[in-house]
Each structure stands twice: as C-alpha cells, then as structure tokens.
C-alpha cells in the first residue's frame, strides 16, 4: 500500500533520496498533488508514466526552486518570463518555453518545449530545496481520474497498483487552490493561455498585453487540456438552478438516484444524494475535486452539477474544469 507520511525532516530527506535513486514520490502543491521524478533521469520519468498509465504524448510540468533553476531548463528566458515569475512565482502559473537541449526529451513527452513552474506549497518547496534540482511531476492521479487535492486521494488512486506498493505520499493537507495551474505558452511572440487557472487572463495581460483567449484545446497543442481530461467515471451533466429544481421535482424512478453538487443541499431529497458546494469561488475550487470524487463514489447513474457564476477568472477556470468533467 502507498504510505501517507507527515512532512518531517526525516521524511523529506528520505523523499529526496528516493528521487536521487531514480524513484517516484507524491507530494503536495498548492494546485493539486504531484507525482514527482528527477527531470534529468529518463527511467525515473518513464516510471511516472507507467505508474499513472499516462499516454506517452502528454507532457509533464517541471517544478523548480525559482528562476535560476528554470533558466537551466529552457533555451531562452526573456523579459516577459522575468516579469511573470517576479509577479506570480512561487505560485500557480506554468510557463511553456523552448526546451534546452540538455533536458531529456522524455521529460516533455518528446516535445521541443517544456513547461516550468515554481510551486508555493511549503512542502513542495522543502522537497525541491532538499533535492536541489528540478522535479517533473504531473498530477498524482491515475490517468483519466480526477486530480488529487488530498494525500488520501493519491492513496485511493494507487492502492491497487502493484508498482505503487512502496509509493511515499507526503501529506500537505488540502491543496489550497484546488485546480491545476494556469498554463501560458510563451514560445511565440503572441503568448496564449493553454489552460485557464486561478491566475486569470486580466492579470496576465497587465504584463503581456492582449492575449488570445483560452479555448478547449485540441490534444495536439496541449494534451492534458483535451475534453474529458478531468472527468469522473460517472457521467456528468451541468444544469442551471432552474433546471436542477425541475429535475429534483421529477419522480426518481425516471432517473434513479442522482449525485448532485449544488449550493443548497436541502433541495436534494432522497434517493438523490447531495454534495454541498461553497458559494465563494476560492472555496469552491478548493473543494471541487474532492466533491467529484465523493459523488463518483456514490455509484449513481449520473452526477448533476449546479452551474456556479462565471464572473471572475477563478469561476471561469472552474467552469473550464466543469465542462471538461462533463465531456466538453
Ligand atoms: P498535469 O500536471 O497532469 O495537469 O499535466 C500537465 C499539463 O500541462 C499537460 O497535460 C499539458 O496540458 C500542459 N503541458 C505540460 N507541458 C507542456 C508543453 N511542453 N506544451 C504544452 N502544454 C504542456
Ligand atoms: Mg493531470
């Protein structure tokens, strides 16, 4: 069974040793938990793909201590990078840049670009300090599952995977942001958002000028942003508040029990099963993946999700994940 361990001096030293030995460690970040390996060790990277069951064409994000480390991974680090890192690092912003030739192609799924981020979670930072080199890490879920925001989620996903029997999971509590980082492509003169996150286009435009707006990208441009990437096993349907009320008034024998993520759980009567969601965007984002995992666990035929507003960057990023959960 994977082991959930408290982040102590000893366990952090052990985790860094595992990474040095070409192994894999799960660790918390402020966005979601990551499954980390030494960026420069191709067999360690291969182990991450095998453990996750991740498609070979889906690249990883390299996590770094700061700008000095980031510079070693990319061909050129320009003024825009300095400004973005100065403003948003450490934090949930990932920069896609041209990969330096000494960085193994395997660390970027064979692409000539690489995604780089400096996380703010204290445990991620301590692990990076101890390892003293970049750690490539995708989200620490099995491929096709919902991203993990608690150590328990990681343990749940890997408990039945033989090769994960000795996986160490550093416990950093609930991920504070709760959804994946904003990914910005800086490989051309016109920067664009590949994946929306808590850092919104308005904040980025203060530094970068007018940007292309994020779209539901195709698999080829940024693989992890394909529709369905963030979906639970149970089919998801997005409904507005009016529609939710209508659906709850219908006799349950037409649909069977439904799992319902909503703002007012008392509206949801048995046999339907409510998961109450916060009305504040930051709290909603923090709870979303745990709520989807719980709803998935009910074994209902469908998950209904009451649509939240979309009037700020974080809500729009939440909408992006909800649309993907519903299959695009
Ligand atoms: P995950 O950490 O599981 O959220 O996955 C990282 C995601 O970051 C990938 O699925 C891509 O969407 C994006 N990404 C990572 N590296 C690149 C890259 N070189 N070019 C474009 N997108 C990338
Ligand atoms: Mg992922």
* Residue 121 contacts residue 65 (beta carbons within 8 Å): no
Three-state SS for 62? strand
Q: What's the average model confidence in pLDDT over 31-54?
A: 98
Token pair belonging to 145: 């599952």
pLDDT score for 73: 98
pLDDT score for 255: 76
The residue written with tokens 């890192």 in the block is 85
Highest mean pLDDT range out of 69-73, 217-221, 233-237, 247-251?
69-73
10 contact partners, CB below 8 Å, separation of at least 6: none
How does pLDDT run across 26-37, given as a tens digit for each residue? Answer: 999 999 999 999
- The atom of ligand 1 lying closest to the CA of 99 is 19
How does pLDDT run across 76-92, given as a tens digit for each residue? Answer: 999 999 999 999 999 99
Ligand nearest to the CA of 144: 2
Instruction: DSSP letter for 212, please.
Output: B
DSSP of 65-131, one letter per residue? SSHHHHHHHBS---HHHHHHHHHH-SSSEEEEEEBPTTS-GGGGTT-SEEEEE----HHHHHHHHHH
Q: What's the average model confidence in pLDDT over 181-204?
A: 95
**Ligand 1 geometric centre to CA of 141 (Å):** 14
Q: What's the average model confidence in pLDDT over 248-269?
A: 89
pLDDT score for 223: 54
pLDDT score of 220 more than 50: no
pLDDT score for 218: 40
Q: How confident is the model at residue 285 (pLDDT cuts 50, 70, 90)?
A: very high
Three-state SS for 296? helix
Q: How confident is the model at residue 227 (pLDDT cuts 50, 70, 90)?
A: low
C-beta atoms surrounding 156 within 10 Å: 17
Pocket test for ligand 1, best of 93, 116, 183, 196 (most atoms within 8 A of CB): 183
Q: What's the average model confidence in pLDDT over 271-297?
A: 97
Strand partners, 135: 38, 63
Tell me how far CA of residue 38 lies from CA of 99, 143, 287, in angstroms: 16, 20, 30
Instruction: DSSP letter for 254, please.
Output: G
**Comparing 4-8, 92-96, 221-225, which segment has the lowest mean pLDDT?**
221-225
Task: Quote the pTM value.
Answer: 0.95
Three-state SS for 194? strand
Q: Give me the sign of the Cα torsion angle 292, 293, 294, 298.
A: positive
What is the C-alpha to C-alpha distance for residues 200 and 197, in angstroms, rounded to an integer? 6
Mean pLDDT, the chain, integer:
94
Pocket test for ligand 1, best of 216, 224, 226, 324 (most atoms within 8 A of CB): 224
pLDDT score for 216: 53
Q: How confident is the model at residue 219 (pLDDT cuts 50, 70, 90)?
A: very low
Q: How confident is the model at residue 250 (pLDDT cuts 50, 70, 90)?
A: confident
């Amino acid at each position: 069974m994977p082991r959930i361990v408290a982040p102590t001096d000893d366990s952090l030293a052990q985790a860094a040793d595992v990474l040095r030995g070409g192994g894999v460690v799960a660790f918390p970040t402020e966005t979601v938990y990551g499954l980390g390996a030494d960026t420069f060790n191709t067999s360690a990277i291969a182990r991450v793909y095998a453990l996750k069951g991740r498609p070979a064409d889906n690249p990883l994000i390299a996590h770094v201590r700061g700008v000095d480390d980031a510079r070693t991974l990319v061909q050129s680090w320009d003024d825009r990078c300095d400004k973005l890192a100065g403003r948003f690092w450490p934090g949930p912003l990932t920069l896609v840049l041209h990969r330096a030739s000494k960085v193994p192609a395997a660390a970027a799924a064979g692409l000539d670009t690489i995604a780089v981020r400096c996380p703010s979670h204290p445990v991620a930072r301590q692990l990076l300090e101890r390892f003293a080199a970049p750690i490539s890490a995708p989200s620490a879920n099995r491929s096709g599952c919902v991203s993990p925001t608690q150590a328990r989620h990681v343990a749940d996903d890997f408990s039945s995977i033989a090769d994960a029997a000795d996986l160490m999971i550093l416990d950093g509590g609930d991920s504070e942001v709760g959804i994946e980082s904003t990914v910005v492509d800086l490989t051309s003169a016109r920067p664009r958002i590949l994946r929306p996150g808590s850092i919104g286009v308005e904040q980025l435009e203060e530094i970068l000028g007018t940007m292309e707006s994020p779209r539901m990208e195709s698999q080829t441009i940024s693989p992890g942003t394909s529709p369905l990437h963030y979906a639970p096993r149970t089919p998801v349907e997005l409904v507005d508040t009016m529609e939710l009320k209508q659906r709850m008034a219908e006799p349950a024998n037409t649909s069977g029990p439904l799992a319902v993520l909503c703002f007012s759980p008392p509206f949801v009567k048995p046999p339907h099963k409510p998961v109450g969601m916060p009305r504040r965007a930051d709290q909603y984002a923090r709870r979303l993946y745990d709520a989807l995992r719980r709803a998935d666990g009910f074994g209902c035929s469908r998950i209904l999700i009451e649509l939240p507003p979309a009037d700020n960057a974080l809500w729009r990023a939440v909408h992006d994940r909800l649309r993907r959960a519903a299959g695009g």
